[in-house]
Amino acid sequence: MTTVYLNGEYKPLAEAFINVLDRGFTFGDGVYEVIPVFNRKVFRLDEHLERLDNSLQSIYMENPLSKDEWFTIFSKLVDTEKQVNQSIYLQVTRGVTERDHDISLADNPTIFVMSRPIVKKDLFSGIKAITHDDIRWKQCDIKAITLLPSVILRHKAKEQDAKEAILIRDGMVTEGAASNVFIVKDNIIYTPPKDNHVLPGITRDLVLEILSRKNISYVEAPIVIEELLNADEIWITSSTWEIVPIVKLDNNPVGNGCVGKMWKKTNQFYQEFKKEL
């Protein structure tokens, strides 16, 4: 039975309940993080906690716990699971108040954390993605729990036998429904710059860090839809999926329709980096 953390207590998942007036439930008033655990070690802890701080700050909340307190919770939950690779999910909401938009009513956040095994799907042989209008709001840099657009977009992808939707806003690529996007053209790697339309992905930043270390040049620049459609390679990145090649976009092959050589090289460096930990 999975053990979870809820507001200071560790308990079985089946016994963890929240009040129906929790603002996460009534308003979607909260933020979250997904932190991978590889070989039982929490991966990029500082980076995830820094992004959590930024998300909380953007919604006028303070981080309710210190870094050490978060780490203690993560460690306990990771220990209770058998699998060596896990995904920690944490959610902080503004807590329970009467159903009133006024945030000054809230003084006791709800903190929920669980860790689940990472189920390895066969993604590294390449997946299909669709393109779709970016139907989300203009503060996508906040890791907000209000994920209805992403849920709809992933469903639209699934309806077309695809696993991800690559989003287009005003003719430019922003990101995936739950991932960041990279393209390769003539051996040069491109990814959109971080702004309010993109979640600052921890995996995205790590990929760039690894490329820099290996002296492989990349460009952080806006990508227009035509560049996406004509790319030699397309990759998406996320903490749980890592770096995944897209081999089919809408109904067309990406490049020659096979996993690209730049992906192979980058993924190899990424996997080596993970092992060094």
State which residue, 65 or 236, has the beta carbon closest to ligand PDD: 236
Binding mask 3-42 for ligand PDD (x = CB under 6 A): -------------------------------x--------
How many CA atoms within 13 Å lie on the side-chain side of 141?
Answer: 13
Q: Which of residues 235-274 bind ligand PDD (CB under 6 A)?
A: 237-240
- Look at residue 76 and give its three-state secondary structure: helix
Cα distances (Å, whole numbers) of residue 246 to 105, 121, 151, 202, 243:
46, 14, 20, 20, 10
Shortest distance, position 107 Cβ to ligand PDD, whole Å: 28
Interface with ligand PDD includes 175 (CB under 6 A)?
Answer: yes
H or E stretch at 80: helix 67-80
Q: Which of 41, 76, 121, 143 is catalytic?
A: 143
State CA 148 to chain mean position distance: 15
- CB 204, CB 192: distance < 8 Å: no
Where do runs of H (alpha helix) occur along 28-127? Answer: 45-58, 67-80
Tokens at 44, concatenated:
């990029």
Shortest distance (Å) from residue 2 CB to ligand PDD: 17
Pick the closer one to ligand PDD by CB: 110 or 237: 237
Question: Which of the ranges 68-76, 95-103, 175-183, 245-253 carries the binding residues for ligand PDD, by CB under 6 A?
Answer: 175-183
CB of 135 to ligand PDD, least distance (A): 12
Binding residues for ligand PDD restricted to 176-205, rule: CB under 6 A: 178-180, 199, 201-204
143 as an active site residue: the answer is yes
The interface region with ligand PDD, picked from 18-26, 63-71, 99-107, 173-181 by CB under 6 A, is 173-181
Distance of CA 212 to the CA centre of its chain: 22
Dihedral sign computed on CA atoms, order 102, 103, 108, 110: positive
At its nearest, how many Å lie between ligand PDD and the CB of residue 98?
A: 29
For β-strands 180-185 and 164-169, DSSP reports them as unpaired
Q: How many residues does the chain have?
A: 277
Q: Residue 140 Cβ, how far from ligand PDD at the closest point, in Å?
A: 6
Question: Which residues are catalytic, by number?
Answer: 143
Site residues (vs ligand PDD, CB under 6 A): 34, 175, 178-180, 199, 201-204, 237-240
